[in-house]
Amino acid sequence: MIGRNNSPVNNEAQKPFNVTEWRESFILAILRIGCLLGIALIGVSFPNATPSDRILFVGLYLGLLAITLLRVPYSVRAYALLLISFIIGANAILAWGPWVDGSVFLLASVVVGALLFDRRVDAVVFVISIILMTTVAILQSLGVYQLRAEAAPQTIPINWLGYIFDFAVIGAVIVAAMNQFKNAFSRIIQETQTALSSVAIERERLEEKVVERTEVLESRMSQLRSATTAARLVAEIQDIHELLETSTKLITEKFGYYHVGLFILDEYKKNAYLQSSSSARGKDLIGQAFNLESNRKNPLAVTVEQNRSVITLDIDSKNFVPDDNFPLTRSRMILPLAIRSDVIGVLDLHSDQPRAFNVEDAEILQALTDLIAIAFDNVRLINETQNLVSQLEANTSIQTQRTWRKLTSRQMPAYQYTPAGVRPIFNREKRSGGDVDNKNSLLVPLVLSGQTIGNIKLKRKSNSPDWTEREKSVVEKIADQVSLALENSRLVEEAQKSAVRDQMIANISTRIRETLDIESVARTAATELQRVFDLKEAEVVIGSQFEKQDGKS
Give yes or no for a contact between 379 and 239, defined as CB atoms under 8 angstroms apart. Answer: yes
Q: Please state, for a pLDDT cut of 70, what percent of the chain lies above it.
A: 88
Pairing of strands 415-418, 289-291: unpaired
pLDDT digits (tens, 9 = 90+) for 10-33: 444 455 567 778 888 888 888 898
Q: What are phi and psi of 540, to 5 degrees?
A: -120, 115
Other Cβ atoms closer than 10 A to 396: 14
Beta-bridged to residue 290, according to DSSP, are 272
Q: Which domains does the chain have, with CATH numbers?
A: 17-196 (no CATH), 237-384 (3.30.450.40), 415-508 (no CATH), 514-552 (no CATH)
pLDDT digits (tens, 9 = 90+) for 283-309: 999 988 888 876 667 888 888 888 999
* Sign of the dihedral defined by the CA atoms of residues 374, 377, 381, 387, in that order: positive
The 3 state secondary structure assigned to 508-550 is HHHHHCCCCCHHHHHHHHHHHHHHHHCCCCCCCCCCCHHHHHH
Residue 300: the pLDDT is: 87
Read off the pLDDT of each residue in 532-537 and give the average, rounded to a whole number: 74
pLDDT digits (tens, 9 = 90+) for 50-104: 788 888 888 888 998 998 898 889 889 889 989 998 998 898 888 888 888 888 8
The answer on pLDDT for 435 being more than 60 is no
Mean pLDDT comparison of 173-177, 180-184, 216-220, 480-484, highest-scoring range:
173-177
Whole-number Å distance between alpha carbons of 85 and 286: 99
pTM of the model: 0.51
Residue 8: the pLDDT is: 46
**Looking at this protein, which amino acid is placed at residue 353?**
Q
Residue 335: the pLDDT is: 93
Other Cβ atoms closer than 10 A to 31: 20
